[in-house]
Structure 1
Amino acid sequence: MVKIYIDPGHGGTDSGALGNGLKEKDVTLAIATRVRNMLVNEYSNATVRMSRTGDQTVSLTQRTTDANAWGAAFYMSIHINAGGGNGYEDYIHSNLSDSSTTAQVRNTIHAEISKLIEMPNRGKKKADFHVLRETNMQAMLTENGFIDFASNAAKMKSSDWLDKVARGHVNGLEKAIGLKKNSTPPPSGSTLYRVVTGSFSTRNNADQRVAELKAKGFDSFIDIFTQSGVTYYRVITGSFKDKANADEQVNDLKKAGFDAFIIVV
């Protein structure tokens, strides 16, 4: 199995960049959870660990220490940019040569994200970021648009765009590090059955629901989507290829006192 560590930037008390009604920590988590779900559901040799699955405060040292201890083969840090620019860019560590294996892997992932992100390509860069310096495995950091640039931020409010960006990351990982597609497709093609346990117009209410679910033993994540120009925070408590498994999850949630329903994606 190929161990892939997905690191949604910021979280908890660290909101990251702010702009146009968005917080970086929310957008990075929305992309990262999609990446995780695609990898887990579509590939036979990928196993995924995340630095955070909700709005937790996790230090940079905690992230890299966790990835190193787990023995990850690849570290993907997902961020949103700010500072008046426009478009997509990514980073590997400044000490690495352009001919290094990490650089070659980054080249492949960069190309795949650039195909789908629908933003100007700002290029492939290097930096001495902690998560690139202190990781023992190949690592890269993606900056998926500028939260303070109106047209970029508008895309970040779209579930379709978030799906495309996640797909770009996944396509790149597949090609770059040898992931293998499942030999047997899901029963309904690429259909997934997601269990929803609440949809909220404020992030705090969604975070509270996630905490309530966790206390009862249900892992959940927040999916950000926009409808009629309004941003919602939808709490997802499981994504399943088999509807019977989703139905069972709904029944368990209802027994625990939560309203739940299934959406098909």
Structure 2
Amino acid sequence: MVTRIVLDPGHGGWDPGAVANGITEKDYQLAIGLRLRDALLARYDDVEVRMTRETDASVDPAGMSLPPGTARLARELQARVNIANGWPDSVLISLHNDAAGDSRARGGTIYVYGPQSWVAAVAPDGKINHRAPRSYQLAQAMEPIFREMLAKHGIPCNGTKAGDFQVLRNTAGRAVLVEAFFSTSPLDAAAAKTEAFKADLTDAYCRMIAAALGLREKAPATTNPRPVRVVLPSGKVITGELRDSHTWIEVGGVWCPLRAWAELLGFEVLWDNNGPTATVRLPK
């Protein structure tokens, strides 16, 4: 079954989004969105990705005929919603960074649809994205990975909150909006501008989406895999593959690095070039 993902880099074209501390939201989020699209397609099987925009352009050029203001913005946001609603069973991930008048405001936040008074898993009207709390469950699967990545760079995580945003309110399917950091915070912005943060944010988004949607990671590509005899602790012998100096085995239909799998289960791996053979056993 193919998983459909719509990535929505916030703002664009006439709408710069938040501009602070050397970060223009529309540019930053487009760059992250393009990286994320490529990473998802490279890392996971059975995934299709569509972007609401791939350049610094409005998604609804016709809206430019309207004067700047609420009506133009509403048309622009609805054009993004229409992309998701027009692609059945897709999941919308809207990418943003936050801003505030107080430079002390910090952190990343995951939003799902709900009125501002909503504080529990289900909104007072019993709806999140108009159905059961599917988007909340999506966000909860994402949050631990998001929190860990932000902490690595000294940025707090504000958890999952309800937001009455048009892209969440009007999307028929599951949808989340992620504010990665506050660009108006000098501390957040300094971290966010580093290449290390951008790489980690892209990786975290990949893993967040994979965890939420149950994506299956691809086996690493290799030109000339070599068969490896693998002896399991039970004595059973299976055939793995040597790829780029690492042994991989198939577990439940998914290719995993042998050593990482074995050590996770409390075993060690002994290597013998004769064969070659990898023996998995309890440490002595």
Determine if the TM-score, normalized by the shorter chain, exceeds 0.5: yes
Separation (CA, whole Å) in 2 of partners of 1:178 and 1:128: 27
Separation (CA, whole Å) in 2 of partners of 1:104 and 1:66: 23
Whether 1:4 and 2:21 are equivalent positions in the alignment is no
Q: Which residue of 2 is the match for residue 116 of structure 1?
A: 149
Separation (CA, whole Å) in 1 of partners of 2:27 and 2:147: 22
Show structure 2 runs of 5+ residues with no match: 60-75, 123-132, 224-284
Q: Which residue of 2 is the match for residue 98 of structure 1?
A: 121
Larger radius of gyration: 2
- Letter paired with 2:93: M
- Letter paired with 1:71: P
Deviations along 1:125-175, one digit per CA (max 9) or x if unpaired, are: 101100101111100000011111112111222222111111111111111
2:107 to 62, 65, 87: 87
Whether 1:173 and 2:209 are equivalent positions in the alignment is yes
Please tell me whether the aligned partners of residues 84 and 90 of structure 2 are also in contact (alpha carbons under 8 angstroms). no
**Offset at 1:111?**
1.4
Q: Which residue of 1 is the match for residue 126 of structure 2?
A: none
Deviations along 1:225-245, one digit per CA (max 9) or x if unpaired, are: xxxxxxxxxxxxxxxxxxxxx
Separation (CA, whole Å) in 1 of partners of 2:30 and 2:85: 21
Q: Which residue of 2 is the match for residue 185 of structure 1?
A: 220
Whether 1:157 and 2:193 are equivalent positions in the alignment is yes
**Offset at 1:108?**
1.1
Question: 1:1-265 to 2 correspondence within 5 Å?
Answer: 1-58=2-59, 59-83=76-100, 84=103, 85-94=105-114, 98=121, 100-117=133-150, 118=153, 119-182=155-218, 184-187=219-222
Instruction: Please identify which structure carries the higher helix content.
Output: 1
Separation (CA, whole Å) in 2 of partners of 1:151 and 1:27: 17
TM-score for both structures, normalised by structure 1: 0.67
Q: Which residue of 1 is the match for residue 130 of structure 2?
A: none
Please tell me whether the aligned partners of residues 27 and 156 of structure 1 are also in contact (alpha carbons under 8 angstroms). no
Separation (CA, whole Å) in 2 of partners of 1:110 and 1:53: 26
- Letter paired with 2:78: T
Please tell me whether the aligned partners of residues 5 and 72 of structure 1 are also in contact (alpha carbons under 8 angstroms). no
Identity of aligned residues (%): 32
Separation (CA, whole Å) in 1 of partners of 2:222 and 2:25: 36
Please tell me whether the aligned partners of residues 2 and 46 of structure 1 are also in contact (alpha carbons under 8 angstroms). yes
Deviations along 1:40-69, one digit per CA (max 9) or x if unpaired, are: 001111110010111011211110001111
Q: Which consecutive aligned stretches of 4+ in structure 1 deviate over 6 angstroms post-superposition? A: none
Please tell me whether the aligned partners of residues 51 and 63 of structure 1 are also in contact (alpha carbons under 8 angstroms). yes
- Letter paired with 1:103: Y
TM-score for both structures, normalised by structure 2: 0.63
Separation (CA, whole Å) in 1 of partners of 2:202 and 2:10: 15
Separation (CA, whole Å) in 2 of partners of 1:162 and 1:28: 10
Please tell me whether the aligned partners of residues 32 and 202 of structure 2 are also in contact (alpha carbons under 8 angstroms). yes
Q: Which residue of 2 is the match for residue 198 of structure 1?
A: none
Separation (CA, whole Å) in 1 of partners of 2:4 and 2:86: 12
Show structure 1 runs of 5+ residues with no match: 189-265
- Letter paired with 2:98: N
**Offset at 1:72?**
4.4
Q: 1:102 to 1:29 in 2, by over 3 A?
A: same
* Higher relative contact order, chain-length normalized (CA < 8 Å, sep 6+): 1
**Offset at 1:122?**
1.4
**Offset at 1:115?**
1.1
